[in-house]
Structure 1
């Protein structure tokens, strides 16, 4: 309703504010379920419905998510697990068009609901679309006088924002899967380059020792000493790789110890193979939450991997210290050959650099790499504290 002076009325302002809250939820740093719950609550309130729900199919005839508004927790518990797709629940996941029905029970497409299910009458269903792909649907029921075209348009706006949130969630999930696959491939490459090669050398030495046992026992004993050395080196390489694949637990305040253990294990492996010397320096306690600590550890691992494998460095230094208000600063530096950072990023082949920056962004931090030919490399990560 608009006032006589042409200004928006109270109801219009309330609608605009509630729509603004839903949009801000989509663009904010809240979880996808929280965004969807905000959308379904807003749809019920603004359309004047008694009940509302938002369903996201699981691809197997049921729902991966089914959020409701207007029902008590006791009512939800009485209904049991997530519903199967049937009747209008399924219809909205097949038909890319809204449905408005005066009485859902009188419609021939209605099937059934459980005994504990509340009685529904007037019904409005709006699909959540991205292009022609149906991501889910919004369901509203029981509005006095029935739903109107204006209600359908309003809920359609909210469905569009739900589509944005679900699309972002899909992309994030795919990015996580890609990152995991890439990290597994890299670790497998490391295992092949390091452990597999040492095991191959170990096998050849054992075979040669076996041939020497009868005709030259002294030489065989010397070879056995080589076997022990190769076995120890393979074990140290494997330990370093496993630490990178499954780092030590990093609960509250445990990051410095976990990172120091990682550096020590890698230093032992590098000494055995003639690689660079590694050192760790820590300064003061840290109060980062586990998610932030995990980012710091993973970025440190990536930087150490690059320094040890590619930099041809003599020394690699790791420094970790408190930074700002409850944050942390990580620096991994080496005196190796260095490289052209701009060229590496332009070539779009530097997975490690992209990975470090993406991890930093995930906790609102920053990761920078300073390097150049024959100048060594410095990786700097700044992670902010969590605001109270």
Structure 2
């Protein structure tokens, strides 16, 4: 139409200045960004980024290349759609983008394959490390050594700065904490370690892996000591043995990365499974060793009892043979002493010392009678009458028996209270005899002055799969004469004594050992040498 002004056609901008909009798909958005913004400094940098993207993980090399080929074709179609009426511009676009796309395709494929090769290499290294870790752990026989090695191996495999192993106490909390990466000085500054609150309590209750980028940002991250080293990245996995939670493995501060990866978590879970087997093996080995030791102890006890029985029969025979003449001597001495007192011997030649001699005869006969009585006690050792016994009362009664004697001799007995709950399956009278004998020996050792102390404590055997057996240790110590190393090896031999001639029969400790062994306990004598005192430790299993 005349007069109409047709809109003026805008001149096309040079192709190099125009952004080209490519298909915006999730898989290819990084490539779109690359082509539109040019933010990558090189195709190699872009290819490396593409190869490491999650979208290309978990798929094969053919799939990666196939996706890139589809992308290249999509780019070509996009260019044809945009410049289909501008053949020259289209050709310039294709000349510009096709080499770039082909180059990117080649580099991405190569980078991807290189990344896969590196991943395979890392996998081989991890597999080798796991095999080595498994061999190392299964070679350990002590449960304590196994637990420490688990933490150390986990930190090394997963590049963690700190590691810990929390072991359940059987009551839903953490009874033991084994650490690595923390010096003894730092441990002392930290103070008591966590007992199962906060994030550690969650792991105990849920018994499943937990991976955090920043522990400090988690609301459950509490319960740690205030002086604990800072922790950010965190990985915790359960150690489950025979379907039961044994404890948890904790790793913090991933070195060279901001967080532990999923691959790290899988590796930690695998290591935890190996650890569970190693713990089980070590526990079984310890049980076998304990059973073997118990068998050897029983054999030694049986042999010892047979020897003591033979010795006891001999002692009983000797006691009976000696008892009659001793009784006669004692009776005649008493009669002579009475007659001498009636007749009066003062001032008579040869008879002035008569009373003194008779007194010495009576004293020596009394001492001989005591030896005979101890021989009979040794020969007549009875079987224990077991029942639940409060050891606190047993020890207190033994102390009460000797306390008056000690005061009269100006000797001091220091008593540390026996812990509450010290109940054992025992014979109260026999154990009281043991402690009375030990206290008497200790008082004899400080005749010239010193101190006797009796103390007690609870302890548990280390258990590989939970709390071990509970024991009561009772220590009777003195600051007296001490025992030489050569005599220390013979203190439990019947009739052996370190006391002066005439002051001991050498049967007390032999009887004590026999009684304690009948109670499935142990008795040990320690001394650093003459003049350095003695410590006798009686260990008795507590009834639970």
TM-score (norm 2): 0.35
Q: Which has the larger radius of gyration?
A: 2
TM-score (norm 1): 0.47
